[in-house]
Amino acid sequence: MKKNLLILIVAILISFFAGYSYKNVDIYEAAEDYPKTSLSLPAQWFMMESSLGWEKMMFIFGYADNIEVCEHLVEVAKEESPSRDFRCTDAN
């Protein structure tokens, strides 16, 4: 009986906290406000062209030269998916 009550209480608590929502963050707005690197270089969006147009796939940040890292990812992506187009654009 005590075990069933404990399971019920735990289930209620899990349900309660699972429903708790954190403040939604707009990633595009956050990217615009993200600081530039120590070399004053912007963060980058790694983008892929699809039937819907250019889509932002990854936010590249935290490197001394985000542009170089993003361009390297474009090269790798083109090798893996030669029929698709990829590019980098400034995020901030």
In whole angstroms, give the CA distance from residue 87 to residue 78: 10
pLDDT tens digits along 29-75: 877 877 787 778 899 999 999 999 999 999 999 888 999 999 999 99
Are 16 and 38 within 8 A, CB to CB?
Answer: no
Give CA–CA dist 42/46, Å, rounded: 13
Q: What is the pLDDT of residues 5-37, one digit of tens each?
A: 667 666 666 665 565 555 667 777 877 877 787
